Amino acid sequence: MDRLKSLRNLFLRAGQRKRRDEVVAFSPQVPVPVCPECGGSGFTLLVVPFGHQDFGQAHPCRCVLKAVLERYLNHLPPLTFEGFEANAVNCVAYGAALAMAEGRHERPWLILAGQPGVGKTHLAVAVLRVRAEAGQMGRFEVVPDMLAWLRAGIGQEISAEERLESLKRCPLLVLDDLGKEKGTEWAEQIIYQLLDYRYRYRLDTVVTINGSLSAFPDAVRDRLLDNHLCRVVMIEGTSYRSGMSYGGK
Ligand SMILES: Nc1ncnc2c1ncn2[C@@H]1O[C@H](COP(=O)(O)OP(=O)(O)OP(=O)(O)O)[C@@H](O)[C@H]1O
Ligand SMILES: [Mg+2]
Ligand SMILES: [Zn+2]
């Protein structure tokens, strides 16, 4: 963005471009449009009366928000509802995930449980994608990786507490593979804090679980089984990857 801005200024100074909304060409082949709203600065001032709390405050321009959203979508796995084959064993989960994606869900938590390869992660990511298309950015967190990221924050500039806070407050959180983490006391405490916060504030959360709820500590299991808050959907069937059936729960 800075490079874009300084190049645009060069052109303006040289008198080659007179208007802010004209296209600046870095090379004859690749014209790069300058945002007409912010002129490439990335910020805009809201038009509000003097004395308003936002008077004189810079806000990220729409073009920046759009770029952030695009980057977020590019980092999500390419799993969509369109690419999901609904059938007799997964159609309830498909319907519940679609309702969540479209904001028609009655309960803020969706728990997708089932054996490996039945499509739990696929549906959870599809929820994030639909919400992103509607402008809401959530978070996709594979629980063991999330814990490693939190642990890496200890003593860092963006601390473990700040990282956890961002996860607690995020409007839509996918916790993929809950229960796959190494069950240390620290990990258990973090997961409890995260789930308890989101439980208390009824924040939209999709959890995928490979295995049985009975393996969780009582306090976590009790929240996951709260009928007022959670919809638990078991996806039966065989693995889409291998066709294998792993039996047991
Ligand atoms: N019904 C389906 N239609 C299309 N693709 C599917 C379906 N179910 C699963 N898949 C694909 O199969 C692969 C495994 O699915 P996914 O990762 O969602 O399984 P999972 O239930 O999360 O398994 P695990 O417990 O091992 O994480 C993915 O590539 C996914 O896109
Ligand atoms: Mg998975
Ligand atoms: Zn802009």
Q: What is the pLDDT of residues 156-194, one digit of tens each?
A: 888 999 999 999 999 999 999 999 988 899 999 999 999
Question: Burial level of 238, CB count in 10 A (0-12/13-18/19+)?
Answer: middle
pLDDT band of residue 211 (cuts 50, 70, 90) is confident
pLDDT of residue 182: 85
Determine the straight-line distance between the first and last CA of the chain, rounded to whole angstroms.
Answer: 51
DSSP summary character for residue 119: S
* 40 Cβ below 6 A of ligand 1: no
- Boundaries of CATH 3.40.50.300 in the chain? 76-235
pLDDT of residue 11: 37
Percentage of residues in the chain having pLDDT higher than 90: 68
* 240 Cβ below 6 A of ligand 1: yes
* 131 Cβ below 6 A of ligand 1: no
**Residue whose C-alpha is closest to residue 62's, from 84, 36, 24, 98:** 36
* 79 Cβ below 6 A of ligand 1: yes
Å from CA of 189 to ligand 1 middle: 29
Q: To test ligand 1's pocket by mutation, which of 94, 118, 122 has the most ligand atoms within 8 angstroms of CB?
A: 122
Å from CA of 5 to ligand 3 middle: 11
Q: What is the pLDDT of residues 93-145, one digit of tens each?
A: 999 999 999 999 999 999 999 999 999 999 999 999 999 999 999 999 999 99
User: What is the topology classification, in CATH, of domain 76-235?
Assistant: Rossmann fold (3.40.50)
**Residue whose C-alpha is closest to residue 138's, from 69, 240, 219:** 69
Cα dihedral across residues 154, 195, 219, 124: positive or negative: negative
